Structure 1
Amino acid sequence: MTPPLGDIAHLGHVELLTPDLDASVRFFTEFLGLTENGRSGDSVYLRTWDDYEHHSLTLTAHSVPGIRRTALRTSSADALRRRIEAVEAAGRPGRWVEDEPGIGPLYVTTDPDGHELALYWESEWYEAPDGLRPGLKNQPQAKPGRGVGVRRLDHVNFLGADVAANGDFHREVLGARPTEQIRLDSGRIAAQWLTFTNKSYDIVYTEDWTGSSGRLHHIAFAADTREDILRAADLALDTGVFIETGPHKHAIQQTFFLYVYEPGGNRVELCNPLTRLVLAPDWPLITWTEAERAKGQAWGLRTIESFHTHGTPPVA
């Protein structure tokens, strides 16, 4: 039975691996406008200005790019206990760690594809130091005066060998609900968008055409307006950031988007999904056909070939 929506409160933070840590830090701080909030060993902790927690993103030096951890905050200690019981009942591996600043114990497990997921409840609320204090007391940090100034980490898009199995895990074990999906003519589910909240999606699985497991398609940060996305494209052009595709509007979920690569090789989406919420408790799962997807994005832009072939870590 699908658990009640709400045990997972929201997407907390992610850890990206990068072979060029210094350049990746510059990308996320100078281009996107994140704030550095500490270092430990080979890891740097960064935060978006509207995040209430210690960090939104961890960058860790590694030989190849990719994603190491996706952390989900639960809505209570009891919710954490229930989800751990569900993970164990599903036969998934799990272990406890305390290895992130500002975050209490994390229960680390994996999805069927091998992506590392961490569940936690205890979290330290961020207090801005002098120089970063906001003018309004109801936001955690002053808006940055540099780069795009993204508001929050919005979603993670995993590449998966079996989209349906991963979607079922999030639905049956963690309590997500799917909002949209792509079904191929063969009947296979090629992509699925799932939400833990009233956002239209928090987690996405896209079929990995290489047949590999555990890879990343992209992480996404939300900007306040479409104009911010257009400005980001101009900033990318001026600063040498590689634009893969966009700005444009997705047909699925109607997100206004720009896709770029950070210096380590990971794909990053800048998006404006803030106006679209799923408020209906009985929202029907919307299924797109292969023929419908062949039409491209909302205004006719064809899906670029690298969108199906680029992922991290790279494969031969």
Structure 2
Amino acid sequence: MSKEPIFDVAQIAHVEIFSPKPEETLWFFKELLGMEETTRQGQSVYLRAYEDFYHHTLKITEAKEAGMGHVAWRATSEAALERRVQALDASGYGQKWIEGDLGHGAAYQFVTPDGHQMELLWDVEYFQAPEEQKSKLLSRPQKKPLRGVPVRRLDHINLLASDVTANRNFMMDQLGFRVRENIIMNDQRESAAWLSVSPLVHEIAFLGDQLGGRGRMHHLCYWYGYPQHLSDIADIFTEHDIRIEAGPGKHGVSQAYFMYVFEPGGNRVELFGDAGYMIFDPAWKTLTWNEEQLSKGIIWYGSPLPAEYFMYGTPVIQPAKV
């Protein structure tokens, strides 16, 4: 008999990234990706895309090395938050309550089995556009910016993990995530998994860390909605010496039209040109790609991903010398 599904987590709320070059990183997200600066506090800057409804979806914090500070998830209600906190406490991976941060109220901090820092919250501050930024489109929180090629919303986070299965089981058992697609190698090792709590194909993914690291970030992703925008922003990236790692191309997993680049601080950023497909079936069965199907799963069309893609993450660690 299958477990009763958990519907206590609603969506990804925001991500904090670390940058050793905060001003250059801020320039990348504001001037090239058209994101809006909400406010600043201490060594951090808070930003949002023009169709993000919350105070912020990205927090850039100055640090010695690139990486992820934390990822925040919003619960479906205050009661749902309390239920998940109890489950996280019992799991041994819960940490503590914090009073909150700019843009949200009290949050409960926890870690994944690999040590990725996360938090769960309910109370959020919604963005209120000043008069000159108000859109005539009532479903849009603000006008589309005139800077760069503006992204529309936060889409997902992809994390490197020493043990994909342990981390995805944690997200499923403690938070109610469902595995949408995964990759099983010939030795039965799970090398990657894509999970979500919403109809999106994934809001979080885990990819096996081939360098043996723990708790690293592979990439952060923002969504455009139009494949043409990947070509538009690629032209701008080239003009401004932003290195494009791969794409534009299309993944078999998720069916997403993608491009990977490195922001000046060293973090990998993925840009989605469309939403891939949506999942509405409550009895969805995980789509499993095997090793023989892997080439089409990773790249449906476009150039193959470089070897670096499967090893580079932040914080950066060097491959062991042979």
> TM-score category by the smaller chain?
over 0.9
CA pair 146-61 structure 1, distance change in 2 beyond 3 A: same
What SS class does the counterpart of residue 131 from structure 1 fall into?
helix
Residue equivalent to 1:308: 310
- 1:180-232 CA-to-partner distances (Å, cap 9, x unmatched) read 00111111100000011011111000000011101000000000211111211
| Pair 1:45 & 2:46 matched | yes
Structure 2 distance, partners of 1:2, 1:272, is 35
Question: Contact 2:222–2:271 (CA<8 Å) still a contact in 1?
Answer: yes
Q: Counterpart amino acid of 2:311?
A: T
Structure 1 residue aligned with 2:251: 250
Answering whether residue 234 of structure 2 is matched by residue 199 of structure 1, we say no
- Is contact 1:192-1:206 (8 Å) kept? yes
Measure the CA separation in 2 of the matches of 1:275 and 1:9: 20
| Counterpart position of 2:216 | 215
Secondary structure of residue in 2 paired with 1:109: strand
Partner of 1:158: 159
| Counterpart in the other structure of 1:299 | 301
**Residue correspondence of structure 1 range 142-153 to structure 2 within 5 A:** 142-153=143-154
Please, what TM-score do these two structures have when normalized by structure 1?
0.97
Structure 2, unaligned runs of 5 or more: none
Q: Cα RMSD between the aligned structures?
A: 1.3
What is the alpha-carbon distance in structure 1 between the residues aligned to residue 150 and residue 103 of structure 2? 23
Superposition pairs of residues 4-83 of structure 1, within 5 angstroms:
4-83=5-84
Moved more, 98-107 or 240-249: 98-107
Q: 1:113·1:160 contact (CA, 8 Å) conserved in 2?
A: yes
Corresponding residue pairs, total: 316
Partner of 1:121: 122
Contact 1:180-1:252 at 8 Å conserved across structures: yes
Segments of 5+ residues of structure 1 without an aligned counterpart are none
With structure 2 as the length reference, what TM-score do the two structures score?
A: 0.95
CA distance in 2, matches of 1:281, 1:93: 28
Q: Give identity over the alignment, percent.
A: 37
Is the Cα–Cα contact under 8 Å of residues 3 and 173 in structure 1 kept in the other structure? no
Q: Indicate conservation of the 8 Å contact 2:160/2:218, yes or no.
A: yes
The aligned counterpart of 2:140 is: 139
C-alpha change, 1:255 and 1:5, in structure 2 (3 Å) is farther
Residues 128 and 141, structure 1, Cα contact 8 Å, conserved in 2: yes
| Cα distance change, pair 230–58 in 1 and its aligned pair in 2 (3 A) | same
Rounded Cα–Cα distance in structure 2 between residues aligned with 1:155 and 1:273: 13
